[in-house]
Structure 1
Amino acid sequence: MKINKIILAIMVVAQLFTITSCNNDFEEVNTNPNDPSAVPASLLLASVIYNAGDQVQSPFLAGEAGSCWVQHLGKPVYNDNELYIPRQNSIENLWSILYSRVLKDADVMQQLAAEEGNSNLQGVALVMKAYAYQVLTDAFGNIPMSEALKGDQGIITPVYDDSETQVYPTLLSMLDNAMTLLNGNGDIDPSQDLLYAGDYTKWKKFAASLKFRVLMRASSSNNPALGNIPAQLSALVNSGNLFGSNDDEAKLVYLGAEPNANPYFEGIVNGGRTNEWCLGEELVEFMKSTGDTRLPVYAQEVGGNGSGNGYVGKPAGIEDIANSPFGDSNNVSLIGEAYLEATAPAYFMSNAQLKLLMAEAAEKGYIATPVDAATFFNEGVAASCAANGVATFPITYNGGAAGLQQIAEQSWVALYMQGFEAFAEWRRTGIPNLPLAQDAVESSIPSRFNYPISQQSVNGLNYTDAVSAQGTDNLTTSLWWQ
């Protein structure tokens, strides 16, 4: 349905008053606010990217749940989250911000771009929508999608779509459409494009690489709605549109000061909480055992860099942390300084992750390519090391079942500080075999987030139907791709 552009643009301006007031460096508004019909679609792009980045880099959900539950990070104090008690307000924020500030704005941007005849910007909007929907469905399972974002049509209680048979096939369709639309027709304002500075060819690579990730996550399914997964993976490899280097990966590089700095810098460094976070024991010991050159970047030495005291991680959990040696931040390795910088990036998808997924696909015979699994594996490890500014370390790919374990282990390591994605990939592979947190309130490591509590009141009937279809709304209900 064609949107009345003047009415829609007024809505855009209203949204900008609520979003850009604290993000002025990211959004340069060069249009006359008294002439709403002149507002271009591109004006929404920066806020879409920025709000998505802030959520996937949120210390108090991506960090306290995602990164802590895969035992990359730990909390020497205030560690209820390690016992599998997440912050419910953070779950609420993830849901509401991805829907209202990322998906809705991307949807508006897509429709405005269509009216402007800007196919490139339509493609960008579809990539960001697919990205946000995958974050949501991988976090919760069944989610509103087909009826979401339609409040202007009177749909304020959208149904929840089945993740396997409806959401994931739609993600694939969105990304296919995005790759078709990203054809060089129409401008992407470089000042608003915080990922690729207006380069549509790199957005196309992001779309293709994201589709590869979606397909690999769904690769255990036999659902016909997903199509022939190996054939689609092979087509992506043959297209030449996947990430070719770290220069292609999708990451938001923050600015050097609040309010546009990395959320870990704002919440932990400026918040005076650096001593409240440390590395997990499982990650530290694994990296020490392999001689991993990334460890001095991931972590600080016990007592601070230069102490010579080496690296120590905290075991997951421990309810009475105050009476444990691990409750003293001087006894554990804090988060590496590079990851707490104001300009540290938020990753939407890294080249390292793609290469390791390609290694898995090659090892399992999903893709036929002159490049074997060992080459993709080595490229993935090297890409992660390069992103951390260190030389790679000696590691020999073994192939077969042992090789698949190596791929999953190195993916786990490479996704450090990418909490939601690390949590998703660990749930998919189950590697490494992590111990249950000490004093855990659940019988197993969580499999998902519970739905926001508000859904029970604002969309109760559809919430109830979703729970009936998927299983009890708790943290340990498994998702279909695990």
Structure 2
Amino acid sequence: MQKLNILIVTALLLVGCNNFDEDININPNVPSQASGTQLIANAMLSLSGLSSSPQGEFMSQYLSETQYVNASLYPQSSTSFYWLYQGPLMNLQTVLNSADKLSGTEGPVANQLAVAKILKAYYVWHATDRWGDVPMSDALRGADNFTPKYDTQESIYTSLFTLLDEASSAIVPGSVSNDIIYNGDMTKWSKLANTLKMLMALRLSEVNPNLGKEKFAAAVQAGVMTSNSGNLIFKHLADANNQNYWFSQLNQGREWWAISSTLMDKMKPVGDPRLMVYGNANRTDGEYTGLVFGETVNIDTEKYALLGDAITAQDAPVYLVTYAQVLFAQAEAAKLGWIAGGDATAEEKYNMAISASMNQWGADTSELDEFMMQPEIAYNPAKAIEQIATQRWVHLFMHGYEGWAEYRRTGYPNNMVAPGGAEVPKRQIYIETEQFNNTANYNEAVQRQFGGSESLYGNVWWDVN
């Protein structure tokens, strides 16, 4: 069914012109054929792009480059956010701007708008945590405004909390069509909205803990994910039309990425069963050997653990927002005093989070109890934040940008390396085009955040340490 929905959406959105005389005066930037749910589904197709990127894996040091190592050495180069605005966000905004034109035959209009708002919030959250201040309130107006101002990250977070509240409170009974994520299940969309709010609230733990605590408690009260069945997952297909990025690369013989020693050093010493899912043993001696992140000499891919078959399968899923993240967040919140229970609750949620992670990844859990009793893993009140943060980072494997965001917030794991003296970046640099096409707003944003000098090492708003 997912494959059929995707092909229908693609056909509707990319339909070619059969009659030149009839179509020449049609504005190609104004969708006239796709319905609201089809536009939303097309926005969903971009979700895999939030995770399927070597750059994100380098930021979290999950993978080490074996071929073009300089690409992983944190060069002072820019990264474009245009694809987010021109693709999924524009599709979603078109839906939100067309509430009076949406058809109720594809599900209650209120639910279509709610899904669009939730997805918009998720995409914008992703963008602001990577670049810092980004356009939001002036953005997505098409020809009415080609030079949007940059909103402060603080104001963006405020707007996103509101957007998620609006979405979850507006949901009514009934499903929506063309939903390739939750198959129209609005209960899952509601829990996703509250889960996003909860995770965003935790991001404020250092910059505004009082607000973070308030928003966190409200999200939990409203109802967050309660099992892996509610995970936000992008499901690839065993079909070239919608296949896994990593499959497409390795299918061309590109063994360009090995499991990093940064990750290996946190998993192998404790016999973490997820390691056998994340990577394959090396072909030299059947061992799990990590490649030092940033290593530039004598790289023989036969000697290192490469990406596992479950990760590189053509239809391997992308895990974006998960139940294990909910539990890790609740464990940290209990330790911080944001929710009741103190260390007892923190330990319970921490243990549940690791179990949920194992189950999500399909790891062998036959010896899970022994794994959990190891001194490095067993909950220790004196090291709780480090343990929670490190295990969350291990869980977030292959969702590099999210793992990177949590590392910037917490400082864990504590074994990140600085290849060639380059520390892990604090943010990404705006695309150069903005300097020329949106000069005044670009300059104002860079001056406000970084004193006029933009680099990879300017802190975003919530990263105060």
TM above 0.5, yes or no, is: yes
Residue 413 of structure 2 corresponds to 432
Other structure's SS at 2:242 match:
coil
- Does 1:402 pair with 2:383? yes
Other structure's SS at 1:347 match:
strand
Residue 328 of structure 1 corresponds to 300
How far 1:425 sits from its partner (Å)?
A: 0.8
Residue 334 of structure 2 corresponds to 362
How far 1:277 sits from its partner (Å)?
A: 0.8
Residue 73 of structure 1: which of 60, 63, 77 is its match? 63
Structure 1 contact 315–437 (Cα < 8 Å) conserved:
no
Distance 1:156 1:37 in 2: 22
Other structure's SS at 2:420 match:
coil
How far 1:342 sits from its partner (Å)?
A: 1.3
- Does 1:380 pair with 2:357? no
Residue 196 of structure 1: which of 160, 182, 199 is its match? 182
How far 1:172 sits from its partner (Å)?
A: 0.5
Residue 17 of structure 1 corresponds to none
Residue 96 of structure 1 corresponds to 82
Q: How does 1:168-183 map to 2 (within 5 A)?
A: 168-183=157-172
Residue 314 of structure 1 corresponds to 291
Distance 1:377 1:26, change over 3 A: farther
TM-score (norm 2): 0.87
How far 1:263 sits from its partner (Å)?
A: 1.5
Choose 386-395 or 139-148, whichever is displaced more: 386-395
Other structure's SS at 1:221 match:
coil
Other structure's SS at 2:45 match:
helix
How far 1:87 sits from its partner (Å)?
A: 6.8
Structure 1 contact 74–315 (Cα < 8 Å) conserved:
yes
Residue 247 of structure 1 corresponds to 229
Distance 1:333 1:419 in 2: 18
Distance 1:418 1:47 in 2: 21
Residue 51 of structure 1: which of 34, 46, 53 is its match? 46
Q: How does 1:99-178 map to 2 (within 5 A)?
A: 99-116=85-102, 118-152=109-143, 154-164=144-154, 166-178=155-167
Residue 404 of structure 2 corresponds to 423
Residue 310 of structure 2: which of 338, 346, 356 is its match? 338
Distance 1:244 1:180 in 2: 19
How far 1:437 sits from its partner (Å)?
A: 2.9
Distance 2:32 2:59 in 1: 47
Structure 2 stretches lacking a partner, 5+ long:
17-21, 24-30, 103-107
Other structure's SS at 2:98 match:
helix
Distance 1:136 1:124, change over 3 A: same
Distance 1:401 1:119, change over 3 A: farther
The aligned length equals: 431
Residue 10 of structure 1 corresponds to none
- Does 1:459 pair with 2:459? no
Other structure's SS at 1:74 match:
strand
> In the alignment, residue 384 of structure 1 is paired with which amino acid?
S
How far 1:369 sits from its partner (Å)?
A: 5.7
Distance 1:109 1:143, change over 3 A: same
Other structure's SS at 1:265 match:
helix
Per-residue Cα deviation, 1:86-143 (whole angstroms, up to 9, x for no partner): 775xx22xx1111111111111122334543610111100011100101110000010
How far 1:328 sits from its partner (Å)?
A: 0.9
How far 1:368 sits from its partner (Å)?
A: 2.2
Other structure's SS at 2:240 match:
coil
Distance 1:235 1:397 in 2: 30
Residue 277 of structure 2 corresponds to 297
Structure 1 contact 66–419 (Cα < 8 Å) conserved:
yes
Structure 1 contact 27–46 (Cα < 8 Å) conserved:
no
How far 1:436 sits from its partner (Å)?
A: 3.1
Structure 2 contact 350–379 (Cα < 8 Å) conserved:
no
How far 1:316 sits from its partner (Å)?
A: 1.4
Q: Percent identity?
A: 31
Distance 1:157 1:429, change over 3 A: same
Other structure's SS at 1:247 match:
helix
Residue 3 of structure 1 corresponds to none
TM-score (norm 1): 0.84
Other structure's SS at 1:372 match:
helix
Distance 1:272 1:114 in 2: 50
Structure 1 contact 25–260 (Cα < 8 Å) conserved:
no
Distance 1:462 1:78 in 2: 35
> In the alignment, residue 148 of structure 1 is paired with which amino acid?
A
Distance 1:232 1:131 in 2: 16
Cα RMSD over matched residues?
2.5
- Does 1:288 pair with 2:282? no
Distance 1:218 1:114 in 2: 36
Distance 2:279 2:47 in 1: 26
> In the alignment, residue 282 of structure 2 is paired with which amino acid?
V
How far 1:221 sits from its partner (Å)?
A: 2.3
How far 1:309 sits from its partner (Å)?
A: 2.2
How far 1:356 sits from its partner (Å)?
A: 0.5
Distance 1:151 1:111 in 2: 12
Q: How does 1:216-231 map to 2 (within 5 A)?
A: 216-222=202-208, 228-231=211-214
How far 1:69 sits from its partner (Å)?
A: 2.8
Q: How does 1:203-218 map to 2 (within 5 A)?
A: 203-218=189-204
> In the alignment, residue 204 of structure 2 is paired with which amino acid?
A
How far 1:432 sits from its partner (Å)?
A: 1.3
Residue 348 of structure 1: which of 320, 344, 356 is its match? 320
Other structure's SS at 1:348 match:
strand
Distance 1:102 1:373 in 2: 37
**Regions of 4+ moved over 6 Å:** 32-38
